[in-house]
Amino acid sequence: KQEVTQIPAALSVPEGENLVLNCSFTDSAIYNLQWFRQDPGKGLTSLLLIQSSQREQTSGRLNASLDKSSGRSTLYIAASQPGDSATYLCAVRPGNAGNMLTFGGGTRLMVKP
Amino acid sequence: EAGVAQSPRYKIIEKRQSVAFWCNPISGHATLYWYQQILGQGPKLLIQFQNNGVVDDSQLPKDRFSAERLKGVDSTLKIQPAKLEDSAVYLCASSGLATEAFFGQGTRLTVV
């Protein structure tokens, strides 16, 4: 059974810092991995989708990397801003392209002005 | 492109009452998911539909929860009777085959 872990569970940083959020998964046979953002009381917003054949994806100040063999992904946020404060979740899809998404517990990020 | 629509946004009920949630996925998305998210945790899959067939409902408490997806489009999730531990946010999502998943705003359920 796939298990997804996100460390740290919470993170507080001053504005302007570059930071890294970690996601690890136990079964490396994944099809793709997706990073989401969740604001308090809201649904999930898709940030980046990385296919298993890809090493990284970039969108603006966000960069997500994938090391499938070691079961790890990182989300890099450059020049953090108070508006980046939210919970960040990663989710993996199994290697048989079955559509089930398994989520980690999330990292709660607070960026202080 | 319209997103995933869910209603209601909030619901407060007493334990042992019943409640239903509705979801309209993105047009053309064959896969529809219902997730339960307890405060401070990641979403947990309750049920996954492919068109109008169930792909995975292994974590659905079938003694009280039921879900259907008529005509492979809209879906409803029902809880009857509700328990205090059912208090959570219920999230609906849709996707194409192994493509990016999109989520609705969720329904926050409080059971008192």
- Choose among B97, B103, B106: nearest Cβ to A99: B97
Q: Does A2 touch chain B (CB under 8 A)?
A: no
Residues of B in contact with A103 (CB under 8 A): 35, 42-44
DSSP-assigned states of every residue in A21-80: EEEEES---EEEEEEEEE-TTS-EEEEEEEETT-SEEEETTEEEEEEGGGTEEEEEE-S-
Contact, A99 vs A93, CB < 8 A? yes
Size of interface A-B (CB pairs under 8 A): 62
Q: Output the six-digit token pair for B45.
A: 């899959």
| Separation CA B44–CA B54 (nearest Å) | 16
pLDDT of the residue at A98: 62
Is the pLDDT confidence value at A95 over 90?
no
Q: Which amino acid is at B75?
A: S
pLDDT in tens, B1-46: 579 999 999 999 999 999 999 999 999 999 999 999 999 899 999 9
Residue B28 to residues A36, A43, B75: CA-CA distances in angstroms? 22, 21, 14
Residues of B in contact with A40 (CB under 8 A): none
Is the pLDDT confidence value at A96 over 80?
no
Q: Find the residue in A nearest to B108 (Cα).
A: A41
Q: Does A100 touch chain B (CB under 8 A)?
A: yes
